[in-house]
Structure 1
């Protein structure tokens, strides 16, 4: 049997929600629960190997990669395969602090590598490492807030680097950490912004919703062309999209009718869905929008060998709209009232049932590196771990092409960066 390999990439942001770095999490499901040194080394090599395979420049776009290292990988030559400018190696809390470890960190620092202490706790054995690391990561979910504040105050006496709060899941915890002097943040709060359920659908969003409904029920291009022509912003975006490399068209189009004819109604519907979900420019939403696009593409790819083309498109919409509520800041039920969506999409989004639900749950589990759930839902759709991993890599690459500069702005499906690596 092949290796069971999974991928995750979680943003690390600054106090203004701007993307600072990624933590790269490539895992083998068995190694994740094993303490054997051989498996630990294999897991560490998997991280580095997959990063090299993807290409650090393409994968990170100038941001840093935080990568967990166990003792075996840290002592190996594999750590020197990645250029120092790209990475910060996280020393896991399970790595014993020994003279050999200290000497190894000093050696790698001379080569330009930077380090972070992962899940830091105030134990005397870690004190010799504080002057040697650039970052200290604190798990703020596993301890009371006052304990986090106490740790920061305690180690600031010996530490001149920067703090990263992990597992930040609420605005209150984010603000407490920020006010305590923490510079960077990581957690579901940034991937799943708070839901402001009282927000109304904005006029621009309503125009897109109306067009989506027309495209679903109408085959007369004239009925779709007229509302598009009345909306200058949508017309401009559509023409830019139709003439971009993403559509694969061989000739330039100059009118709405030409664009509709060349692109087709099915692609137009997907483009409108992307536009609706990714148009909010807020910094936190930009990260969530990338997750939504990746999730939609992953669901679609997983359905390619199992469902027909129409169902694959619906899987894409299912994954994309699974984060519509925090992105649009309106209740999902309210949004679905405005859209005439097929029953399987509604079942998956609202009730977590129906034929598309396992695909969506598998995509969500892949983002969390929840190996038990990955195995469960991969089995439900008769999918191998290798196929999940390949689809995840492909969906990340596709999202990079569609979103342009990583994390710099919200997705604009009208300006994809085709072929970017």
Structure 2
């Protein structure tokens, strides 16, 4: 554990693990993954709570650095919120300047000292974003020459105002980031206005289309999953995989990722089926459902990343909470990764469950967020939407008898595992 102290704090007032660390994906115009905003939220678990923005940012920076920034953001950029106190401090030695963007709010007083410090940090290679911009102001004018990105919150600015200010910032050669994009319509509007990047969970919301059919490759994976979960023998499963050449090649690539942890390279389908076993094979088939659209030119990296992170986090949580139940972790992984299949396929979860045989616990978790696995899924969803649902985390952790320390460690492990999977799957 890292302890940080500053002149205006008591020596032991800051313990970096007493917070939740969320990350929100930032996508490019092709909906490929560009970066993550790292979000901090106080964890009210004792007297040593982090109480100000400086210590909050310091905690996020220190913990991310302690565990490795690559575990937190992988190959993407990390956007970190800072205020005037943070800017004037000397905590930037924790940060890899080429990997982070420092976000400043447009209401921050642009004093000569702050402007000089930002200019100094830019000279050292740091990038800045101006956050929550709703229009022009003296502060915006003062900060604009020093920032690379301008972020606008779709909840705080009407479309009519957006149409006026976006062109001005584009003229200034700023990269525009739309925040809180929650619908496909908002995404399209911002796309038309020339926004470069998009932050929000519009990509994870299902657009249900009646009569929608699964692609041949998705059908092949689904049929294979049915064989794997039934009593079909290994030879029958191997024959089914061989009938689809791309399926076979993709499966071999996936099972050789570092995330599998195989001691030797798996070169044949027969090896894959034998070495992995039914449960692991089912896992990689579930992941392939998300990876397939990317190979047809539709970037589904964020959905693949979200699904694999959810699946792994639920698996780790279940293993921690129910260590004596051997199947609990496997069931939890299935719940996590299947929870986004309605978005992936554009059909209702009820219809999906009519095609994929699952037990009652899994069905209850997916449809009603019920039972033990439903609680784990709700916890994962709250972490993903930290700004909106962070208040639900403490009661859920209390019910699960889990500490914030343990949650953060498992979450970081899930981030790293998911990043490895996605890097090799596409």
TM-score range normalised by the length of the shorter chain = 0.7 to 0.9
* 1:75 corresponds to: 88
* Alignment match of 1:135 (pick from 134, 149, 156): 149
CA distance, structure 2, for counterparts of residue 238 and residue 83 of structure 1: 35
Tell whether 2:218 aligns with 1:205: yes
The 1:93–1:293 alpha-carbon spacing in structure 2 relative to 1, beyond 3 Å, is: same
Give deviations 1:72-121, integer Å, cap 9, x for gaps.
Answer: 21111002432332222111245222222222212222222221111013
Q: Secondary structure at the match of 1:398?
A: helix
* 1:416 corresponds to: none
Q: Secondary structure at the match of 2:177?
A: strand
How far is 1:155 from its partner?
Answer: 5.4
How far is 1:60 from its partner?
Answer: 4.3
Give deviations 1:334-378, integer Å, cap 9, x for gaps.
Answer: 211111101111101112212211000000111111321111222
Tell whether 2:364 aligns with 1:347: yes
Q: What's the TM-score once normalised by structure 2's chain length?
A: 0.85
Q: Secondary structure at the match of 2:52?
A: helix
Tell whether 2:423 aligns with 1:404: yes
Tell whether 2:288 aligns with 1:271: no
* 1:8 corresponds to: 22
Q: Are the aligned partners of 1:2 and 1:386 in contact in 2 as well (CA < 8 Å)?
A: no
How far is 1:234 from its partner?
Answer: 3.2
* Alignment match of 1:288 (pick from 303, 306, 310): 303
CA distance, structure 2, for counterparts of residue 16 and residue 252 of structure 1: 34
* 1:164 corresponds to: 177
CA distance, structure 2, for counterparts of residue 195 and residue 106 of structure 1: 48
* 2:414 corresponds to: 395
* 1:361 corresponds to: 378
CA distance, structure 2, for counterparts of residue 67 and residue 93 of structure 1: 15
* 2:396 corresponds to: 377
* 2:162 corresponds to: 148
The 1:207–1:183 alpha-carbon spacing in structure 2 relative to 1, beyond 3 Å, is: closer
RMSD: 2.8
How far is 1:318 from its partner?
Answer: 0.4
Q: Are the aligned partners of 1:239 and 1:256 in contact in 2 as well (CA < 8 Å)?
A: yes
Q: How many residues align?
A: 403
Matches within 5 A, 1:203-282: 203-218=216-231, 220-241=233-254, 245-251=258-264, 255-281=268-294
The 1:20–1:272 alpha-carbon spacing in structure 2 relative to 1, beyond 3 Å, is: closer
Give deviations 1:130-162, integer Å, cap 9, x for gaps.
Answer: 2222221111122321122233355567x4422
The 1:190–1:40 alpha-carbon spacing in structure 2 relative to 1, beyond 3 Å, is: same
Q: Are the aligned partners of 2:312 and 2:336 in contact in 1 as well (CA < 8 Å)?
A: yes
Q: What's the TM-score once normalised by structure 1's chain length?
A: 0.86
* 1:408 corresponds to: none
CA distance, structure 2, for counterparts of residue 83 and residue 250 of structure 1: 33
Tell whether 2:26 aligns with 1:21: no
Q: Are the aligned partners of 2:254 and 2:421 in contact in 1 as well (CA < 8 Å)?
A: no
| Structure 2 residue runs without a partner (length 5+) | 1-14
* Alignment match of 1:177 (pick from 176, 190, 206): 190
CA distance, structure 2, for counterparts of residue 37 and residue 300 of structure 1: 30
The 1:76–1:353 alpha-carbon spacing in structure 2 relative to 1, beyond 3 Å, is: same
Q: Secondary structure at the match of 2:319?
A: coil
Matches within 5 A, 1:86-101: 86-101=99-114
